[in-house]
Chain A
Amino acid sequence: QQQVKQSPQSLIVQKGGISIINCAYENTAFDYFPWYQQFPGKGPALLIAIRPDVSEKKEGRFTISFNKSAKQFSLHIMDSQPGDSATYFCAASGSGGYNKLIFGAGTRLAVHP
């Protein structure tokens, strides 16, 4: 119940294309869903996050879509650029006091020029 399943493991997209990464969870107590971006040799950094009271959140070219009934959420990167090449992690945590972040396994994205 604590797992967050992420797919695909790796993704190759052409410049200008749309990158889509999917995550699924089981624990209905989760109510915070962030995405972290990690460049080679660096630590992860928060990219965008959503709570289940909305079905979509957009920040620039990055959009999170959230489907509460299906317990799934996804990251869409529009107009993908070579500079977006990184590893992306979805995560989830609950509310009320300290609730640790549960991370997905990660998706390595390569955007080819």
Chain B
Amino acid sequence: NAGVTQTPKFRVLKTGQSMTLLCAQDMNHEYMYWYRQDPGMGLRLIHYSVGEGTTAKGEVPDGYNVSRLKKQNFLLGLESAAPSQTSVYFCASSYTGLAGNEQFFGPGTRLTVL
């Protein structure tokens, strides 16, 4: 039982390049989330999904797209990377979206955009 896994762990991009971050969970959770973590700003929700085939915008969605074609996978895409997207990205999942339902986090992807 691996929990929530993320690939890659590190990535360096040049401005304008594109990439996809992959999140996978083996807990059969319905809800999945993408956050970014920046110093002094905590974790901010980028996009989330309430189930296979559905996605919704979070707090800071601009510049990102997501897809959830399979229940266990949640992809985060950057179509044209900008230096402002330099951050640590965390994926999380939960069984439901109800308050009190624990979110389980992956180990993170550290992205640098030059």
Contact = CB atoms under 8 A, between A and B. Distances in A.
Nearest to B9: A41
Nearest to A99: B99
Given A41-B107, A43-B106, A98-B50, A93 B43 contact: no
Interface in B1-54: 4, 31, 40-45, 48, 50
How many of chain A's residues touch chain B, expressed as a range? 20 to 34
Given A98-B31, A98-B50, A100-B58, A44 B43 contact: yes
Contacts of A34: 102
**Majority SS of interface residues in chain B?**
loop
A94 B47 CA distance: 18
Contacts of A42: 107-108
B100 A44 contact: no
Contacts of A97: 97-98
B105 A45 contact: yes
24 contacts: A6-B42, A9-B40, A32-B100, A34-B102, A36-B105, A41-B108, A43-B4, A43-B92, A43-B106, A43-B108, A45-B105, A89-B42, A94-B99, A95-B98, A96-B99, A97-B97, A99-B97, A99-B99, A100-B45, A101-B103, A103-B44, A105-B41, A105-B42, A106-B42
